[in-house]
Each structure stands twice: as structure tokens, then as C-alpha cells.
């Protein structure tokens, strides 16, 4: 039989991540967060534009208070939409950001 010791590869069995992989993981985490933040901002702007001309019927709605709080509503809707899976924009943005950083998806 052939001698297999010539093809053995040293394996790190400690389970501790190396510095390069820890840095990659941190970078990937930051890229995911940035992509989700971008999708949230995009949806917030989209919701603001959707609700721009929507008014409340009298006698219970309207006025300056409604206009002031509408931005908070659209921001909360955008955050919840992304939290529940979004529209898929963050996944695409994250893949492109990973490519730009030289990391595989």
C-alpha cells in the first residue's frame, strides 16, 4: 500500500476561529446590517410617497398632528417590513457588497 502520510493535511481541531475568519464574519455581519438598513430607508421613502396624498376623513383625523406623525408611521412600517423578511432588496444589496469586498456569497 502507498504511504498516506505524504498527503495528510494538518487540521486545527481546537474549533477556535482564526483571526481572518473572525474578521470575515464581522465584515459579513456589518454588510448584512448595512443592507437591511438600506432596504429600510428605501421602504421608508416608498411608504412616504405612497401616503403623501392620503388624508384622514373628518371629524376624527387630519390636521397638523397627522402630518407630523405620518413620518413615524412610515418608519415603523418600513422597519417591520424588513424585520419580517422585506422585499428581497437587502439580499441583493448584500451579495453585491460581498462581491465588492472580495468575499463569496
Asked if residue 32 belongs to a domain, the reply is yes
Q: How many domains does one find in the chain? A: 1
pLDDT computed for residue 20 by the predictor? 58
In whole angstroms, how far apart are CA 27 and each of 41, 43, 65, 89? 21, 24, 42, 19
Q: Please give the mean pLDDT across all residues of the chain.
A: 80
| Separation of alpha carbons 65 and 62, rounded Å | 7
Asked if residue 66 belongs to a domain, the reply is yes
Asked if residue 13 belongs to a domain, the reply is no
Question: Which regions in the chain score pLDDT beneath 70?
Answer: 1-20, 55-63, 105
Asked if residue 89 belongs to a domain, the reply is yes
Q: Which pTM does this prediction carry?
A: 0.70
Q: pLDDT of 56-73, one tens digit each? A: 666 566 667 777 788 898
What is the span of the domain harbouring residue 28? 20-101
Asked if residue 31 belongs to a domain, the reply is yes
Amino acid at each position: 500500500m502507498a504511504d498516506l502520510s505524504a498527503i495528510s493535511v494538518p487540521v486545527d481541531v481546537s474549533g477556535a476561529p482564526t483571526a481572518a475568519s473572525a474578521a470575515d464574519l464581522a465584515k459579513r455581519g456589518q454588510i448584512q446590517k448595512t443592507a437591511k438598513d438600506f432596504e429600510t430607508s428605501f421602504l421608508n421613502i416608498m411608504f412616504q410617497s405612497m401616503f403623501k396624498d392620503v388624508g384622514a376623513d373628518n371629524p376624527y383625523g387630519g390636521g397638523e398632528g397627522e402630518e407630523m406623525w405620518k413620518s413615524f408611521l412610515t418608519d415603523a412600517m418600513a422597519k417591520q417590513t424588513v424585520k419580517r423578511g422585506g422585499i428581497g432588496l437587502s439580499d441583493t444589496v448584500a451579495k453585491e457588497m460581498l462581491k465588492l469586498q472580495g468575499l463569496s456569497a
